[in-house]
C-alpha cells in the first residue's frame, strides 16, 4: 500500500488522524459557539402576544417563541447546553398535561394569576416568581385570570438530547388530577422546616415547586441593608433545594441578584454560559468588548468564559440561570473575578 494514499485509505475505514484536529478538540481555553446577545422586551412582548392569534395553546401544546442564539439558528438553543423561550397563555386557555425527562424552569415576566400544575399541585404565578418542573413530573399550564401571561421557559433540552436520554409522554387529558392544596410544597419544605421523617438527599430536584418573588425580594431587601456588596455580582443568591443544599434543579443553577444604584462591577468570567432576565431597574452589562443596555423584561445571554461587567443607573434585580450544577458535579466549573 502506497504511503500517499494513507489519508484516503484510513478515511474509507472511518478513521481519522488526530493530529489534524487536536488543537480544535483540546483547546487551551473554552471554545464556544454561544454568542452574546440581547432580546429587548419592547420587541419580544408584542410578537409573543401576536402568537396568540396564530395558534391556540392547546393546538400548539406549548405556545412558545424560542430564543435562538444568533450563532446557532435552527438548533433551539440559547447556549451550547440550554434552551430558552417565551411562553404565552391567554385567559381561559390550557396547555395540556405532559411529562418529559428534560427539566424546566419558569420565570414569570408578564401577567398575574395564571397557573402551572406540577405533580398534583397547582401553583399560581405572579411576576418575578420562579417555578420548577422537575424531570418526569406531569405538568400543565392554565390561565383563569383576565390577562395574558408570559413567562420565560428555561430547559436543559440540548443537554438531555446530547445524552440521547429524552423520553416524553402525553397524559391524554388537558389537566392532571390535583392531589395537594395550592402552596403545599412551599409550606412543607420551604419554610425553614422539613417533615420530621423527611429523608435528606432523596429528591434530586427541589421538593419546593414555587419560589415566590415576594419572599425573594424580602430577602434581598433585608440583606442589602448590610451593605456588603460582592465586587462583581452585588448581592447574588442561588435558589436551593432544601433537601440537599444543592441547586433547585439538578441540571440548571438559578440565581437572583440585586445590584445597587450606581454600581460599577468588577469584571468576572465563569465556564457556565448564563441567561439573564431583567426583573427590575436598568443598567448595562459589557460582555467581552460589547455593551448591552438593559431594562425591565430584557433577556441577555453571556457566553461561557466571556468577561462580563455590570453597571447600573438605578437599583436593579436580575434573574439568571446556567448549567453550573452539571459542571460542578463533573469538576469542570471554573470562575475568575478581576478585583
Ligand atoms: O412547558 O412543558 O418552552 O415541554 C419547551 C418544551 C416549554 C413545557 C417549552 C416544553 C415546555
| DSSP per position, 277-339 | EEEE-EEEEEETTEEEEEETT-EEEE-TT--EEEEESS-EEEEEEESHHHHHHTT---EEE--
pLDDT value of residue 189? 97
pLDDT value of residue 262? 97
Ligand 1, pocket-test mutation among 62, 99, 137, most atoms within 8 A of CB: 62
State if residue 64 touches ligand 1 by the CB under 6 angstroms criterion.
Answer: yes
Q: Are 314 and 263 in contact (CB under 8 A)?
A: no
Nearest CA owner, ligand 1 atom 1: 62
How far, in Å, from the CA of 213 to the mean position of ligand 1? Answer: 22
pLDDT value of residue 173? 87
- What is the residue whose three cell numbers read 469538576? 331
Which triple of cell numbers denotes residue 103?
A: 427539566
Contacts of 186 (CB under 8 A, 6+ apart): 208, 209, 210, 211, 212
pLDDT value of residue 306? 98
State if residue 118 touches ligand 1 by the CB under 6 angstroms criterion.
Answer: no
pLDDT value of residue 319? 98
Ligand 1, pocket-test mutation among 84, 86, 153, most atoms within 8 A of CB: 153
Nearest CA owner, ligand 1 atom 11: 62
- Domains of the chain with bracketed CATH: 29-337 (2.60.120.10)
End-to-end CA distance of the chain: 61
Q: Are 106 and 133 in contact (CB under 8 A)?
A: yes
pLDDT value of residue 203? 85
Q: Which atom of ligand 1 is nearest to the CA of 106?
A: 1
Angle 166-31-81 (CA atoms, 0-180°, nearest 5)? 20
State if residue 84 touches ligand 1 by the CB under 6 angstroms criterion.
Answer: no
Consecutive 10-residue averages of pLDDT for the chain (339 residues): 84 98 97 98 98 95 97 98 98 96 98 97 97 97 97 98 98 92 96 95 93 98 96 98 97 98 98 98 97 98 98 98 98 97
Q: Cα(117)–Cα(97) distance, rounded to whole angstroms?
A: 9
Supply the pTM of this predicted model: 0.97
**Three-class HEC string of 169-238:** EECCCCCCCCCCCCCHHHHHHCCCCCCCCCCCCCCCCCCCCEECHHHHHHHHHHHHHHCCCECCCEEEEE
Half-sphere exposure of residue 298: CA atoms within 13 angstroms, side-chain side: 19
Amino acid at each position: 500500500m502506497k504511503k500517499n494514499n494513507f489519508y484516503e485509505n484510513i478515511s474509507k475505514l472511518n478513521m481519522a488522524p488526530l493530529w489534524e484536529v487536536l488543537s480544535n478538540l483540546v483547546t487551551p481555553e473554552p471554545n464556544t459557539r454561544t454568542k452574546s446577545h440581547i432580546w429587548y422586551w419592547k420587541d419580544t412582548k408584542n410578537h409573543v402576544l401576536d402568537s396568540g392569534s396564530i395558534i391556540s395553546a392547546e393546538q400548539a401544546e406549548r405556545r412558545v417563541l424560542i430564543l435562538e442564539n444568533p450563532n446557532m439558528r435552527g438548533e433551539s438553543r440559547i447556549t451550547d447546553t440550554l434552551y430558552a423561550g417565551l411562553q404565552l397563555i391567554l385567559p381561559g386557555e390550557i396547555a395540556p398535561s405532559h411529562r418529559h425527562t428534560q427539566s424546566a424552569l419558569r420565570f414569570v415576566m408578564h401577567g398575574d394569576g395564571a397557573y402551572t400544575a406540577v405533580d398534583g399541585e397547582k401553583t399560581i404565578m405572579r411576576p418575578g416568581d420562579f417555578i420548577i418542573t422537575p424531570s418526569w413530573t406531569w405538568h400543565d399550564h392554565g390561565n383563569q385570570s383576565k390577562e395574558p401571561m408570559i413567562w420565560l421557559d428555561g430547559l436543559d433540552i440540548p443537554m438531555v438530547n446530547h445524552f440521547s436520554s429524552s423520553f416524553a409522554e402525553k397524559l391524554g387529558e388537558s389537566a392532571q388530577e390535583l392531589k395537594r392544596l395550592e402552596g403545599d410544597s412551599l409550606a412543607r419544605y420551604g419554610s425553614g422546616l422539613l417533615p420530621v421523617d423527611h429523608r435528606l438527599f432523596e429528591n434530586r430536584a427541589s421538593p419546593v415547586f414555587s419560589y415566590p418573588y415576594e419572599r425573594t425580594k424580602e430577602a434581598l431587601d433585608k440583606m442589602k441593608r448590610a451593605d456588603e456588596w460582592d465586587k462583581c455580582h452585588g448581592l447574588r443568591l442561588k435558589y436551593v433545594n432544601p433537601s440537599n443544599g444543592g441547586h433547585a434543579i439538578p441540571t440548571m443553577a438559578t440565581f437572583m441578584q440585586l445590584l445597587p444604584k450606581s454600581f460599577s462591577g468588577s469584571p468576572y468570567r465563569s465556564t457556565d454560559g448564563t441567561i439573564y432576565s431583567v426583573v427590575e431597574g436598568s443598567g448595562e452589562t459589557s460582555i467581552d468588548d460589547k455593551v448591552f443596555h438593559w431594562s425591565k423584561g430584557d433577556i441577555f445571554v453571556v457566553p461561557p468564559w466571556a468577561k462580563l461587567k455590570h453597571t447600573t443607573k438605578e437599583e436593579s434585580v436580575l434573574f439568571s440561570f446556567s448549567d453550573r450544577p452539571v459542571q460542578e458535579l463533573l469538576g469542570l466549573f471554573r470562575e475568575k473575578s478581576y478585583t
